[in-house]
Chain A
Amino acid sequence: MKMTGIIFSEMYNDELNAFTHDRNMAAIPFGGRYRLIDFTLSNMVNSGITNVGVLAKQHYHSLMDHLANAQEWDLNRKNGGLLLLPPFATESFSQMHRGKLDELRNALNYLQDATTPYVLLASAHVLCNMDYRPALESHISSGCDITVVATKEDGTSTEPCTFVMLADESGRATACALNYPASAGSFSSMGTYIISRELLIQVIKEYTAQGAYDLERDFIQRKFNQGRLSINIYECQDEVLRVRNVAEYFHSNLMLTDARVRKSLFQADSPIYTRVNDEVPTYYGMDCSVSGCIIADGCIIDGTAENCVLSRGVRIGKGAVIRDCIIMQGSVVGEGAVLENVIVDKWATISAGTELKGLASAPVIIRKGVTV
């Protein structure tokens, strides 16, 4: 394989703070049985990448626990495999890790020791099931300095794009902007980049020495605007879910009930791997009513659930009604409780008879381990 993978496990902003109190972004539970990082990591493995470095900044215990020896991803290798790259406690530690470029300094030794000609940089918060090999081919044949994996926008997205580009017919970027609404036909970066290892090492050394820390702003956009960087755009045709903030997290989870999204994300030939938990199958009770739901193993459901995502080991009591909710691992919804637009983090308890209602745009969030 010609690529080494680097995964960013942080957001570098506070949009997902509701879930990152005691875990980092990559370890946020998603889609019942997964954590966000499972998608990017599985894509790398399914694309034949056998060297993956995971950059972590803080409270990465959950992530370490989840990845362990990476055996589930077949990355427990003598040669290569998975390496967690936590920060070195240097003098400048407190100022470090304001952005991806800054954080890449931690991967410098790792990248220098790697033997592949290219590096794939990817963030754990963009979910899809894609093969990175055609993207690499596109990068090589384009002759560009960097390839950005992006989705083509139809102009309907209301969220401003983190990094948006316009391209000519050959797929070369002609303009780029940060935090800008995407017009129809423009390309929105998936935070996934292919670059030669040599250039990346040079960029990390040169730019961070000058205090630059934002990969897109300080390196790609600045150098592109100076006319010193050619950008190739590789369009990802697969379904892509982004998890940039709470509303998107909520929406993306519920999108998994959409047959088209499910088919694209979960394919028999390129499975999304995750840590095995050895839960028993889910039991659906005599009087339960479940429709439009994604449900992991180990649940016991005696109530009503509509349009919900339930993680492993969730209990829904008799007479409880949950609509448009995400209930994470091991949480209990007591008898007769009514929840609408609620996200319940792990190991929380909703007492019997409780009523909680949020909005689709602003769901109520119940913190990990809390009893309501």
Chain B
Amino acid sequence: MIERKKECIAMLLAGGQGSRLYVLTQDTAKPAVPFGGKYRIIDFSLSNCVNSGIDTVGILTQYQPLELNDYIGNGQPWDLNRNFGGAHVLPPYTKTSNNQWYKGTANAIYQNIPFIERYQPEYVLILSGDHIYKMDYHKMLQFHKEKGAECTIAVITVSPDDARRMGIMSTDANQAITEFEEKPANPKSNQASMGVYIFTWDVLKQYLIADEADPGSENDFGKNVIPAFLRDGRRLFAYPFEGYWKDVGTLGSLWDANMDLLDPKDPLDIRNPRFKVYARNYASPSSMLAPGSKVTNSFVAEGCEIYGTVENSVLYTGCVVEEGASVVGAVVMPNTVVKRGSCVNYAIIGEQCVIEPGATIGDRPEHCVGGEWDISVVGHRRTIPSGAVIKPKEIV
């Protein structure tokens, strides 16, 4: 009899609140936040899995899962509707004893040991659904095998400034990790963790069980499990990733990452037809640019109707920009209407908003004196009344 098993399965941690996205994650999980015109943040990790030959993905949800569950559905948009494997949404559930939410990242995986064991994997890939990047995990798995690693952490080179906000690895000449520091004040290296781990499953399982038994543990990969691996002299390696990677955990970085799509050099390589980013598609018609409209240096998804001016912006599916309205340097999420004569400058506008005629949102950096400038943000499903002014930096 052929034993049904998977060499490597992925576990995607999608339960985080993403509180630094404020209004954008008020009633939706961070991985479900729209990105780049037609995508949601989670599309990038899911597409990476499929493009890397990983066809079994457990998606761990906890915070505001409705929209995310709905979005993932049976996994068909990512080719993850499989007879054996595929996409599985894994919320916390009640048990005969010890009912609990996911206490931390390690605990979330611990609680799903029965799910993982169904596939008897040799390796488990741990992902988070909050990053914009395209990565072939298969190459990382090859690296993991070549090094005889028990844990491989994907790392990216960052500036010293960024290093102070991230998990930093020091390695030897063979890429073996010698030290790991979470948010160090004086970083000893510029290699930062991308939150992408490959573990040899039988080793990880032991550590998860031990970690769960430790009442002092926060049950977190970065704080507890990885340090325990290091303490015990386990084979930890850092896999250097070269390419575009962006944590979109803050409003500023989310706006930046959207603006990066306008770079003609396409740093994310989003257009690569051999490594497509898949998304759930809604049936909207092709966009219409009416006579008199002016659209330059912008990324526009389908279903939009543009009568006004759009400049240096990313317009998501189904947006309307009416006559005389102008959208500059803005990220406008799905199905938002910018009405006649209103102005949106350097802002993020959530889904299904209505910007009534003559409203002004945000301002250009050069119009703000004294370093007071930042983008303006309007949450999902808001109506901005006629003539209202939303100042730079304001979040509504």
Q: Which A residues contact B (CB, under 8 angstroms)?
A: 31-33, 42, 71-72, 256-257, 259, 262, 265-266, 271-274, 276, 278, 280-298, 306-307, 309-310
A74: shortest Cβ distance to chain B, in Å? 11
Of all chain B residues, which has the CB nearest A266? B285
Of all chain A residues, which has the CB nearest B312? A286
B271 lies within 8 A of A292 (CB): no
Q: Of the candidates B287, B294, B298, which one forms a contact with A294 in the assembled complex, judged by CB atoms under 8 Å apart?
A: B287
Q: Known pairs A33-B285, A283-B298, A285-B296; list 13 more (Cβ under 8 Å).
A: A257-B288, A257-B290, A259-B290, A281-B36, A281-B38, A282-B287, A292-B289, A292-B290, A294-B288, A295-B289, A297-B38, A297-B301, A307-B291
A297 lies within 8 A of B302 (CB): yes
- Which of B5-13, B24-32, B275-283 forms part of the interface with chain A? B275-283
B291 lies within 8 A of A292 (CB): yes
Query: Given A31-B286, A71-B76, A281-B38: A276 and B270 within 8 A (CB)?
Result: no
A31 lies within 8 A of B290 (CB): no
A278 lies within 8 A of B278 (CB): yes
A281 lies within 8 A of B291 (CB): no
A32 lies within 8 A of B301 (CB): no
Which residues from chain B contact A290 at a C-beta distance below 8 Å? 289, 293, 295
Of all chain B residues, which has the CB nearest A289? B294
A254: shortest Cβ distance to chain B, in Å? 12
Bound complex: CA A31 to CA B292 (Å) = 21
Bound complex: CA A152 to CA B297 (Å) = 45
B286 lies within 8 A of A32 (CB): yes
Cβ of B284 within 8 Å of any chain A Cβ, yes or no, is yes
Of all chain A residues, which has the CB nearest B271? A280
Say what secondary structure dominates the interface of chain B: loop
Which residues from chain B contact A42 at a C-beta distance below 8 Å? 283
B307: shortest Cβ distance to chain A, in Å? 9
B371: shortest Cβ distance to chain A, in Å? 29
Cβ of B299 within 8 Å of any chain A Cβ, yes or no, is yes
Which residues from chain A contact B38 at a C-beta distance below 8 Å? 280-281, 297
B289 lies within 8 A of A281 (CB): no
Query: Given A33-B286, A276-B77: A291 and B292 within 8 A (CB)?
Result: yes
Of all chain A residues, which has the CB nearest B270? A280
Question: Interface digits, B32-56 against A, CB 8 Å rule (1 contact, 0 not)?
Answer: 0000111000000000000000000
A337: shortest Cβ distance to chain B, in Å? 20
A261: shortest Cβ distance to chain B, in Å? 11
Interface residues in B, total, Cβ within 8 A: 39
Bound complex: CA A278 to CA B302 (Å) = 11
Bound complex: CA A319 to CA B285 (Å) = 28
B244: shortest Cβ distance to chain A, in Å? 14
Cβ of B238 within 8 Å of any chain A Cβ, yes or no, is no
Which residues from chain A contact B290 at a C-beta distance below 8 Å? 257, 259, 291-292
Of all chain A residues, which has the CB nearest B268? A280
A250: shortest Cβ distance to chain B, in Å? 17
B300 lies within 8 A of A281 (CB): yes
Which residues from chain B contact A286 at a C-beta distance below 8 Å? 296-297
Q: Of the candidates A72, A296, A306, A307, which one forms a contact with B286 in the assembled complex, judged by CB atoms under 8 Å apart?
A: A296
Which residues from chain A contact B283 at a C-beta distance below 8 Å? 42, 72, 271-274
Of all chain B residues, which has the CB nearest A277? B281
Which residues from chain A contact B270 at a C-beta distance below 8 Å? 280
B296 lies within 8 A of A31 (CB): no
B311: shortest Cβ distance to chain A, in Å? 10
B285 lies within 8 A of A262 (CB): yes
Which residues from chain B contact A294 at a C-beta distance below 8 Å? 285-288
A291 lies within 8 A of B299 (CB): no
Q: Of the candidates A259, A272, A306, A307, which one forms a contact with B285 in the assembled complex, judged by CB atoms under 8 Å apart?
A: A272
Query: Given A288-B295, A291-B291: A32 and B285 within 8 A (CB)?
Result: yes
Which residues from chain B contact A273 at a C-beta distance below 8 Å? 283
Of all chain A residues, which has the CB nearest B282? A271
Of all chain B residues, which has the CB nearest A33? B286
Which residues from chain A contact B37 at a C-beta distance below 8 Å? 280-281
Bound complex: CA A153 to CA B283 (Å) = 31
Bound complex: CA A295 to CA B76 (Å) = 26
Of all chain A residues, which has the CB nearest B306? A290
A293 lies within 8 A of B76 (CB): no
A283 lies within 8 A of B299 (CB): yes
Bound complex: CA A69 to CA B17 (Å) = 37
A291 lies within 8 A of B296 (CB): no
Which residues from chain A contact B278 at a C-beta distance below 8 Å? 278
Bound complex: CA A280 to CA B43 (Å) = 13
Bound complex: CA A273 to CA B305 (Å) = 19
Which interface residue of B264, B297, B302 has the most chain A CB atoms within 10 A? B302
B32: shortest Cβ distance to chain A, in Å? 19
Which residues from chain A contact B279 at a C-beta distance below 8 Å? 278
B271 lies within 8 A of A287 (CB): no
Bound complex: CA A298 to CA B38 (Å) = 11
Which residues from chain A contact B294 at a C-beta distance below 8 Å? 289
Bound complex: CA A340 to CA B292 (Å) = 20
A183: shortest Cβ distance to chain B, in Å? 34
Bound complex: CA A259 to CA B288 (Å) = 9
Which residues from chain B contact A285 at a C-beta distance below 8 Å? 264, 296-297
